[in-house]
Amino acid sequence: MKRSNYFSLTEKLLWLISCSAVIIAYAVFGGGSILSLAASLIGVTSLILAAKGNPLSQALMIVFSILYGIISYSCRYYGEMLTYVGMTGPMAAAALVSWLRNPYGGKRSEVAVGRLTPRDLPLMLALTAAVTVLFFFVLRAFGTARLPLSTLSVTTSFAAVYLTFRRSELFALAYACNDAVLIVLWTLAARTESRYISVAVCFTAFLANDVYGFISWRRMKHRQQ
């Protein structure tokens, strides 16, 4: 397949519209430093690659996690900082290794979609519950702003990274749930500082990409089978 045809027209339009929305929001409302804009564009690019099952998406997610952690720290959203720097980033690294070790048909550009075993769901629920409880007390000790929402973000993030590591198409739905939480979180932050509107727009773009990612992975799973 030619490289120019790697992305479908829908994927190209989705990426272009997402990036345009992020850039316009940044230009109109501001977003702090150029770091916010860079993180948003890297995140959008990561998600469109993830929709293709490309391991490069996980490498970009590591970079995004670091940048987003810095942004979250500046807003006292310590839950987001700890979640992405201490959990999402390292788990993305583990997922990168998993995806590279499980290429579909020998192609490094597409991971083989995995199958969840009967023990995966109970294990995921148990680990997610443990991580949620642990982070709740840690975040409370740090005086995290909007503790309930920040804790819920941890819950959805961990489920998402676990499913990403397992190469399940459900990871995109878990990330979509996390996006919804973050849209609310940053919209609330924007009530006091309008520059955070650009971050809320970023996660709105993420939500659209994750929904598409789930659809794309369902197609991949059917095709690979």
Confirm whether pTM is higher than 0.75.
yes
- Which of 61, 172, 56, 161 lies closest to 109, judged by CA? 56
Cα torsion 190, 196, 202, 203: sign: negative
> Residues near 60 by Cβ (< 8 Å), separated by ≥ 6?
42, 43, 45, 46, 49
pLDDT of residue 143: 81
Which residue numbers in the chain have pLDDT < 70?
A: 1-4, 31-33, 79
pLDDT of residue 78: 77
- Which of 54, 88, 43 lies closest to 201, judged by CA? 43
Q: How do residues 185-205 score in pLDDT, each as one tens digit?
A: 989 988 888 878 888 998 999
Q: Are 108 and 152 in contact (CB under 8 A)?
A: no
